[in-house]
């Protein structure tokens, strides 16, 4: 059992170690921080003191008695029920050595928690003298702010040990997602499509990074688009995580790294930290503007056919008076603006939607997380000259129309279908429950909704239809739909 009096030993005083130590101190624990580098210990103590002084001055004032620092595990106070949390560099050898020393120093009752992001918890356990006491405790950066902790059970982990770490994380104000050890756990696996699919769209010259980012922010309510996020994380770091997950899944095309990102890394364009990535951050650089369709005249005649809550909301937002009309062919929702048929993507191109309707102009709109609050959307047409009329209606609704090539599934629908498919695959593999996956994606990556939530909102059938349409266009196993989603 873990309580506020459980002694905590954090190993590694870098970015993560000092965040973990601060969080434990905030919750009332005595903490020992171990790092071979005196300078790191000094910097960590100063950092922790400054941050606590702002939020918890009483704890900051007692820091000398609550926080012990030492350059070697041998010097740490020897409580048998210590929870050791390692946040040393991402190396199996180094982590195994740390846990061997900790097991030797604290004895068989201690818990050995690893903050690894990409190594196997089962493999770290196998290299430790106390495999059943090893558990994953994966925090997110910055630790005191980010609410999520993935508690990872390796093949050898004692269930009670995982429960104790779960209790501890909750007592520290965190929300726990329980994970059975698998590459990337939940977040680093399910999020791969959020980068991988837009990178594919970029590779196919569907739109610029600025346009793709604007669509994902505007239609998806994501705080950042994938390209600005990759530049922030660092393309070197993001590409390395992708490659690790891809390798661990035996080169499954779902996780295939991007040539474009590899090329940026090769050129040293890591992103913000190097002043250049997908975007330039040089002094005086102007921000790339997303492409936008110039609105024309509003349509004279608007007809609504079939069932589509999304199109109903759109028409309502644009304050367009519509005539209802039903025909045998209009079971699928569509809006007809001066003879142009507007549909929400179901994974087919505007050209094929047009061909099915005898060649009438068709405009395909991307999906949104919520049409009611969208501020931008991807739009493609079989007849580009009709885009300006549809853009006029969207403009009246307060939604910017971003033109993209006429590709199956456009941008947000395609990206989120791929992310949702991986979420279903993760749950089918027994790695985590749908609820834990949704919570992990919302708290670990700030997604506006979890993948199971948007599957429910769009309907499973719609997500499946989109994936199957992508599969028939590309014949790429990347788009194979998960069996549970299909069932
Ligand atoms: P960091 O480089 O900032 O810090 C690592 C620290 O470990 C350094 O202070 C180093 O001196 C120390 N160290 C090295 N060998 C040691 C040893 N044998 N004993 C004790 N200390 C030792 O690294 P970080 O970003 O804090 O990452 C640490 C771990 O957390 C890694 O496993 C990483 O994958 C994981 N992680 C990082 C993030 C992140 O966003 N940075 C997020 C989640 C998990």
Regarding whether 50 and 170 lie in a shared domain, the answer is: yes
- CATH number for the domain including 339? 3.30.750.190
Ligand 1 lined by 88 (C-beta under 6 Å) = yes
Question: Could you tell me if residue 455 is left (phi over 0), alpha (psi between -120 and 50 degrees) or otherwise beta?
Answer: alpha
Regarding whether 32 and 155 lie in a shared domain, the answer is: yes
| Residue to probe by mutation, ligand 1, list 10, 11, 12, 70, most atoms within 8 Å of CB | 12
Ligand 1 lined by 11 (C-beta under 6 Å) = yes
Do the bridges between strand 148-153 and strand 67-70 make them parallel or antiparallel, or are there none, so unpaired?
A: unpaired
Ligand 1 lined by 142 (C-beta under 6 Å) = no
Regarding whether 441 and 346 lie in a shared domain, the answer is: no
Among candidate residues 29, 79, 86, 117, the one labeled active-site is 117
Please, what is the Cα angle at 356 between 352 and 357, to 5 degrees? 120
Ligand 1 lined by 37 (C-beta under 6 Å) = yes
Q: Ligand 1: which atom is nearest the Cα of residue 97?
A: 18
Regarding whether 212 and 239 lie in a shared domain, the answer is: yes
Regarding whether 415 and 437 lie in a shared domain, the answer is: yes
Regarding whether 67 and 31 lie in a shared domain, the answer is: yes
263 located within any domain: yes
Burial (CB < 10 A; 0-12, 13-18, 19+), residue 312, is middle
Regarding whether 317 and 419 lie in a shared domain, the answer is: no
464 located within any domain: no
pLDDT tens digits, one per residue of 153-212: 999 999 999 999 999 999 999 999 999 999 999 999 999 999 999 999 999 999 999 999
List phi, psi (to 5°) of 382: -75, -25
459 located within any domain: no
Q: Which residues of 353-369 are buried (b: 16+ CB within 10 A; e: fewer)?
A: bbeeeeebbbbbbbbbb
Neighbours of 145 (CB within 10 A): 9
C-alpha 164/C-alpha 81 separation (Å) is 11
Regarding whether 241 and 104 lie in a shared domain, the answer is: no
- 91 a catalytic residue: no
Regarding whether 226 and 141 lie in a shared domain, the answer is: no
| Residue to probe by mutation, ligand 1, list 87, 116, 152, most atoms within 8 Å of CB | 87
420 located within any domain: yes
| Residue to probe by mutation, ligand 1, list 88, 102, 186, most atoms within 8 Å of CB | 88
Ligand 1 lined by 58 (C-beta under 6 Å) = no
* Closest residue to atom 4 of ligand 1, CA basis: 14
Strand partners, 10: 33, 85
* Å from CA of 13 to ligand 1 middle: 7
Ligand 1 lined by 469 (C-beta under 6 Å) = no
C-alpha 130/C-alpha 101 separation (Å) is 11
Q: Which residues of 74-84 are buried (b: 16+ CB within 10 A; e: fewer)?
A: eebeebebbbb
The candidate with the shortest Cα–Cα distance to 369, out of 219, 253, 472, 225, is 219
- 138 a catalytic residue: yes
The candidate with the shortest Cα–Cα distance to 349, out of 329, 392, 327, 378, is 378
**Beta carbons within 8 Å of 184's beta carbon, 6+ residues apart:** 118, 190, 192, 241, 244, 245, 248
The answer to whether the predicted template modeling score (pTM) of the entire model surpasses 0.85 is yes
pLDDT at res. 330: 57
The candidate with the shortest Cα–Cα distance to 403, out of 212, 202, 203, is 212
* Å from CA of 191 to ligand 1 middle: 22
C-alpha 200/C-alpha 411 separation (Å) is 10
Domain boundary among 403, 419, 434: 403
Regarding whether 212 and 166 lie in a shared domain, the answer is: no
CA atoms within 13 A on the CB side of 96: 13
Range of the domain at 342: 302-403
pLDDT at res. 1: 82
Q: Ligand 1: which atom is nearest the Cα of residue 34?
A: 20
439 located within any domain: yes
- 123 a catalytic residue: no
Regarding whether 224 and 119 lie in a shared domain, the answer is: no
Regarding whether 160 and 74 lie in a shared domain, the answer is: yes
* pLDDT tens, per residue, the chain with 487 residues: 888 889 999 999 999 999 999 999 999 999 999 999 999 999 999 999 999 999 999 999 999 999 999 999 999 999 999 999 999 999 999 999 999 999 999 999 999 999 999 899 999 999 999 999 999 999 999 999 999 999 999 999 999 999 999 999 999 999 999 999 999 999 999 999 999 999 999 999 999 999 999 999 999 999 999 999 999 999 999 999 999 999 999 999 999 999 999 999 999 999 999 999 999 999 999 989 999 999 999 999 999 999 999 999 999 999 999 999 877 665 679 999 999 999 999 999 999 999 999 999 999 999 999 999 999 999 999 999 999 999 999 999 999 999 999 999 999 999 999 999 999 999 999 999 999 999 999 999 999 999 999 999 999 999 999 999 999 999 999 999 999 999 8
- 150 a catalytic residue: yes
pLDDT at res. 389: 96
Per the structure, the count of domains in the chain is: 3
Among candidate residues 86, 150, 228, 353, the one labeled active-site is 150
Dmax over CA atoms of the chain, in Å, equals 81
């Amino acid at each position: 059992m873990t309580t506020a009096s459980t002694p905590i030993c954090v190993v590694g005083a870098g970015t993560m170690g000092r965040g973990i130590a601060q969080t434990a101190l905030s919750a009332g624990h005595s903490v020992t921080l171990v790092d071979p580098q005196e300078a790191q210990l000094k910097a960590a103590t100063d950092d922790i003191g400054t941050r606590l002084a702002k939020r918890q001055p009483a704890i900051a004032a007692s820091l000398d008695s609550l926080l012990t620092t030492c350059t070697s595990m041998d010097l740490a106070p020897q409580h048998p029920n210590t929870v050791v949390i390692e946040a040393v560099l991402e190396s199996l050898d180094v982590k195994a050595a740390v846990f061997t020393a900790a097991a030797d120093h604290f004895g068989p009752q201690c818990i050995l928690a690893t903050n690894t992001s990409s190594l196997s918890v089962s493999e770290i356990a196998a290299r430790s003298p106390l495999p059943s006491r090893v558990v994953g405790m994966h925090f997110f950066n910055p630790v005191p702010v980010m609410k999520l902790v993935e508690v990872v059970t390796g093949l050898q982990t004692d269930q009670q040990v995982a429960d104790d770490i779960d209790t501890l994380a909750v007592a520290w104000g965190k929300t726990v997602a329980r994970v059975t050890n698998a590459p990337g756990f939940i977040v680093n696996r399910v999020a791969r499509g959020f980068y991988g699919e837009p990178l594919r769209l970029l590779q196919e010259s569907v739109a610029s990074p600025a346009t793709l980012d604007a669509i994902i922010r505007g239609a998806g309510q994501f705080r950042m688009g994938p390209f600005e996020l990759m530049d922030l994380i660092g393309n070197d770091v993001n590409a390395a995580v992708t490659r690790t997950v891809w390798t661990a899944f035996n080169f499954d095309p779902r996780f295939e790294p991007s040539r474009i990102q590899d090329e940026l890394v090769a050129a040293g364009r890591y992103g913000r930290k190097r002043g250049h990535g997908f975007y330039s951050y040089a002094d005086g650089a102007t921000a790339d503007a997303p492409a936008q369709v110039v609105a024309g005249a509003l349509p004279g005649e608007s007809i609504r056919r079939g069932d589509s809550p999304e199109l109903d909301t759109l028409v309502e937002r644009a304050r367009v008076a519509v005539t209802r009309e039903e025909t045998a062919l209009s079971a699928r929702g569509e809006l007809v603006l001066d003879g142009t048929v507007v549909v929400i993507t179901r994974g087919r191109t505007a050209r094929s939607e047009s061909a099915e309707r005898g060649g009438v102009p068709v405009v395909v709109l991307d999906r949104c997380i919520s049409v009611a609050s969208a501020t931008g959307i991807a739009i493609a047409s079989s007849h580009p000259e009709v885009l300006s009329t549809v853009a006029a209606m969207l403009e009246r609704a307060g939604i910017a129309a971003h033109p993209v090539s006429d590709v199956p599934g456009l941008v947000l629908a395609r990206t989120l279908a791929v992310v949702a498919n991986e979420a279903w695959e993760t749950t089918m593999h027994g790695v985590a429950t749908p609820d834990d996956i949704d919570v992990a994606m919302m708290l670990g990556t700030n997604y506006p909704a979890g993948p199971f939530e948007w599957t429910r909102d769009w309907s499973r059938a719609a997500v499946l239809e989109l994936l199957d349409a992508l599969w028939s266009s590309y014949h790429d196993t990347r788009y194979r739909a998960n069996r549970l989603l299909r069932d």
